[in-house]
Amino acid sequence: MLCRLDSWAQPRYRGWLMALFLRLLLVAAALFWVSYPARADTNGMDKAYQDHIIDASLTDTSVAPEVIAKLHLTDKDAETYSKIFAAHGRGDRKGAEALAKKLSDRSLVDWARVRNGHNPAIWLPETSGGYARTYRSPLHKDKAARDAADDIALSVSVLLKTDDIARAIDVTKRAAAVGTIDRIEAAAQYARIAAAYLYANKPADALSYAHLALQIGGIKTPDAAWVAGLASWLQGESRRAAQYFAWVPRSPYAGPWLRSAASFWAARAMMREGQYALVSEWLREAAKNPRSFYGLIATRALGTRFDFNWIAPPFTPAHAAVLKRYPGAVRALKLAQAGQYDMARIELALLDANAAPQWREALAALATTSLKPDTVMKVSGILMTPDGRPLDLAMYPVAPWQPRDGFRLDPALLHAFARQESGFKPAARNKASGATGLLQLMPRTARSFDKSLDESTLKNPQVSLALGQKYLEDLLDMTDGNLFEAAIAYNAGPGNLGEWKDRFAGVDDPLLFIELIPFGETRAYVERVMANYWIYSLRMGFGVASLDAVAAGKPAIYASYTKPRDEAVYASVSSASNR
């Protein structure tokens, strides 16, 4: 045997051994690089999370329904808790205790008692949630003074709605003179007056009062700079408009949506002025809020890739084990179901930060697997990917329903309207208007398509989608496929759309036309529906031709939906629901 082994060391075998050794070395290197991405994904995570990933892939993926049921609230308990928190908020302890007796899950009762006389937001950083800073007057130290200031704001609002701008100005001046409102509050009212002049197609007056508001309120009145920018643009003064628009993002009192809008319009103004080096800079600023209307347009104009995440793992026993170790994550989900988002964020802030990838993934898997579209959308603000990004899958869930007569319009478009109209609540009803169902149709409008309709059937999602689809088809026909105008008509009615088109007959800029709509609700509605539509189109793979058109400065025209032969394209998305 020794002789045989020694023979392999002879010169005639050395070349063969070297070749074999090199081949083995190459195979080992290849195996290392193939496994490297998986190693890189867990880089920086604690050992427990690495074990969790491995365990989740090896265990049975089924979790008993009774286990899942204990990890979130029922719809009935979520509604009851909302009432309990409200009762404690107004000091009605007896009413809250009476409601608590109806609960099947009492895990949030102690949190509800904390709400009595305490604001949980004081335990959170000021920037938590990314909200704009809110101005609070140092003058109003008692309830009577605060109520008096609120009454002035309400009076001005009513006068502006009735187009009595002169009296609104007089009320503001008198209130400021006697100290009912302070200088910053007066500036805020002047900014609203400036906006009223803008919507009345009086840009010179709008600019005058917007500039006055800025002189008084400065950085605390970003709305005034926004109105001044639009008024300047309407007058053809793009350089002056750029200065006003550029001012808005510098204010901590401007919300992310307004910052994105002003940045995009600053880029447009810079383009008009030939300052091309600054255009991309302002577009990048607008794109910092990539899920907003202007953020989406800016991202497309830059040619930047959209960074949405549409994948979440199914809920497994490994995830259930993680949530058992971190019960605060479960309480956070339940608090969000009850509408107590600040409390939910506090619970998450108290969890082990080193294990955040674990409980984030487990919480996302639980919510997207077990909650209905309206509920998962409601709690989406506290859900994140393991690396801490917003969970788009939860913010833009796919509904499990289809129109009873099938899709004729793009499913992404119907999802866009349903998300904005009802938040995917099939039984939603507006007590003021009577609008009902997934697409919030007025009974009179619905009966124009089905004379024998029983109003209660509007709560059937298949019926609501079918009738809403017919109404949208009519609006698209009426507007020659203009998506902006169809959305305006859906929200404010075809009559108002016609009136505003007459008032601003000389405006052929589709984005400017949206910003000149007198109804704040309708302006926000159009932009949110269009943002929904583009995001759902990206999720469902239907293309974003209308976004490309808007990014190029053209109208958003609806492209006909090509229905799949067997609905396989939509079914593949819908069957996965929120996963």
Which residue in 551, 559, 558 sits closest to 511, CA to CA? 551
Own/partner long-range contacts of 14-22 (Cβ < 8 Å, ≥24 apart): none
Give, in degrees to the nearest 5, the angle at Cα 167 between 163 and 171.
Answer: 130
Q: What is the DSSP track for 442-510?
A: -HHHHHTT-TT--GGGGGSHHHHHHHHHHHHHHHHHHTTTBHHHHHHHHHH-HHHHHHHHHHTTT---H
Which class for 560: exposed (0-12), middle (13-18), buried (19 or more C-beta within 10 A)?
Answer: exposed
Return d(Cα 306, Cα 72) in angstroms, integer.
Answer: 32
What does the block give as tokens for 220?
A: 């605390």
The owner of tokens 């605390």 is 220
One-letter amino acid identity for 142? D
User: Is residue 445 within 8 Å of 430, Cβ to Cβ?
Assistant: no
Give, in degrees to the nearest 5, the angle at Cα 74 between 69 and 78.
Answer: 135
Q: What is the CA radius of gyration of the chain?
A: 29
Return d(Cα 105, Cα 107) in angstroms, integer.
Answer: 6
H-type helices in 200-311, by residue range?
203-217, 222-234, 238-247, 256-272, 276-286, 293-302
Residue 97 bears catalytic tag: no
Which class for 235: exposed (0-12), middle (13-18), buried (19 or more C-beta within 10 A)?
Answer: middle
3-state SS of the chain: helix, strand, coil percent to 5? 65, 0, 35
The owner of tokens 């990933």 is 53
Q: Bridge partners of 480?
A: none
Q: How far is CA 64 from CA 256, 317, 370, 540, in A?
A: 41, 9, 12, 31
Dump strand ranges (E) for 110-221. Answer: none
Return d(Cα 58, Cα 44) in angstroms, integer.
Answer: 22
User: Is residue 426 within 8 Å of 459, Cβ to Cβ?
Assistant: yes
Which residue in 89, 538, 578 sits closest to 340, CA to CA? 89
Which residue in 232, 235, 292 sits closest to 261, CA to CA? 292
Q: Which of 347, 361, 421, 527 is catalytic?
A: 421
What does the block give as tokens for 333?
A: 């989900």
Which residues carry out catalysis?
Answer: 421
